[in-house]
Copies of this chain bind each other. A is one copy, B any other.
Amino acid sequence: MTKINVEKCAKILREKDNILILMHAHPDGDTLGCGFALCRALLKLGKKARAICGDEIPKKYNYLYSDMEMPEFEESFIVSVDVATETLLGALQEKYSGRINLCIDHHATNSEYAEYLLLNADAAAAAETVLKVVKALGVKIDKHIADCLYTGISTDTGCFRYASTTSNTYRAAAELIDLGAENAMINRAMFETKTWSYAALERLAIEGMEFFGNDKICVISVTQDMYKKTGTNEADTEALPPLTRQIEGVEIGLTLREKADGSCKCSVRTYESVDASVLAGFFGGGGHKQAAACNIECSLEEAKKSLVEQGLKLLS
């Protein structure tokens, strides 16, 4: 593994062709924005490039790629974007594990699995770094690339709210808006639009909130039954984790989702007092200081008990 800077990254990409870009499973705006922005930039350079994800991409992200035509080809260079560890590739892991040439990421917990690693852990979103790479590639950023990168930045910062947001993040957003990014449309679609079914799920989730440890831990539990009742699925739960941390006094917010196979996934949100990636790390997960996640191979009730126990230890 060789750590590289933006210029070296651009140099490597310029020399390659038939580039396959991998985005992480349970895709969010940052991995998708980075993947499609980089793909668009490489296509503009006359290269063959394609961005793929192991999971279905939620409909609300259609605008990132609906106009694109991505060619088929035999890949000769593999790039991952916003993917901290190979396990996060989900369905793509088996095929591409150990074969990734370049990783562009912003997770301090990156497991250094790629041949080359461009890591900026100070960036609020991987898209901040991909913006620099696209510029270093000499590609003229068009409206579509700007929309993709703005989406990555906006979604990974909770629309510029989170502590990870720096003045550089704001400057990148300003630059992308001047290049055509439709910030109003994007933020409306990402943050201001609740489907009827999501609104129903959110209501059930809020009604079922539980509190532990002098109300410092807030837990939302999403069961398969709740998906059935509201016509939703796991992809609809993305907006729930921030709700846990919004109640005054809460230091740890846990959002547990029961999977169809009986195991569960937990999103961890914290403030300064607890490192979310440490709590998720106990269970084999990872992420950032105030936002992390893990999968646990047990029932929702058992996972909740274990997570709350570990959380209480970290708070004490």
Contact residues of A with B, CB < 8 Å? 159-163, 165-168, 170-171, 173-175, 177-178, 183-184, 187-188, 191-196, 199, 203, 206-207, 242, 245-248, 271
Contacts and interface: CB of A to CB of B under 8 A. Distances in A.
Contact of A161 (B163, B191, B194, B245): B191
Contact of A248 (B163, B173, B193): B193
B160 A199 contact: no
Contacts of A162: 184, 187
B242 A192 contact: yes
B183 A177 contact: no
Contacts of A159: 159-161
Contacts of A193: 246, 248
Nearest to A154: B160
A247 B196 contact: yes
Contact of A196 (B183, B191, B194, B248): B248
Contacts of A199: 246-247
A143 to B, nearest CB: 14
A271 B173 CA distance: 22
Chain A facing B: main interface SS: helix
A163 B189 CA distance: 12
Please state the number of chain copies in the assembly.
Answer: 2
Contacts of A177: 166-167, 170
A19 B91 CA distance: 66
A222 B200 CA distance: 21
A112 B131 CA distance: 44
Contacts of A246: 192-194, 199
Contact of A203 (B174, B183, B191, B206): B206
Contacts of A183: 160, 165
Nearest to A179: B167
Contacts of A161: 159, 187-188, 191-192
A248 B165 contact: no
A177 B124 CA distance: 15
Contacts of A175: 167
Contacts of A178: 167
B163 A160 contact: no
Given A160-B160, A167-B173, A174-B174, 17 more contacts: A159-B159, A159-B161, A160-B187, A161-B192, A162-B187, A165-B187, A167-B174, A167-B175, A167-B177, A170-B173, A171-B171, A171-B174, A192-B245, A192-B246, A193-B246, A194-B246, A194-B248
